[in-house]
């Protein structure tokens, strides 16, 4: 899988999702956030990741989350 934000390629980090054009795992962003660190701190430590990439990832995952939960709630409401 390859789009403008995430690349999944078995030859890069054993198929772990990475920011496109890098070998930086997407998980690293969430590891930072989970410790209370900020996106700005993350971008300072990973200067080859852009703020635009982070925001596009968050939009992509937000859309996925809302589409998934909407589907789940619609399925549950018909039971």
Which pLDDT score, from 0 to 100, does residue 75 have? 64
Please report whether residue 45 resides in a domain. yes
72 pLDDT tier (thresholds 50, 70, 90): low
Q: What is the pTM of this model?
A: 0.79
Query: Sign (positive/negative) of CA torsion 56, 61, 65, 71?
Result: positive
DSSP alpha helices (H): ranges in 1-79? Answer: 27-34, 39-45, 51-77
Q: Is 13 contained in some domain?
A: yes
In the predicted structure, residue 37 carries a pLDDT above the cut 60: yes
72: tokens are 């789940």
Per the structure, the complete domain to which residue 40 belongs is given by 6-77
What whole-number distance in Å separates Cα of residue 40 and Cα of residue 32?
Answer: 10
- Average pLDDT over every residue of 43-64: 94
Instruction: Provide the number of structural domains found in the chain.
Output: 1
The CATH number of residue 44's host domain is 1.10.10.10
CB atoms within 10 A of CB 41: 13
Identify which has the larger pLDDT, 78 or 73. Answer: 73
């Amino acid at each position: 899988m390859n789009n403008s934000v995430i690349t999944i390629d078995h030859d890069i980090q054993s198929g772990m999702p990475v920011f496109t054009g890098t070998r930086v795992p997407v998980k690293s962003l969430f590891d930072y956030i989970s410790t209370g660190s900020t996106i700005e701190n993350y971008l300072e430590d990973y200067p080859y990741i852009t703020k635009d990439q982070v925001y596009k990832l968050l939009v992509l995952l937000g859309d996925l989350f809302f589409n998934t939960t909407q589907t789940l709630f619609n399925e549950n409401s018909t039971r």
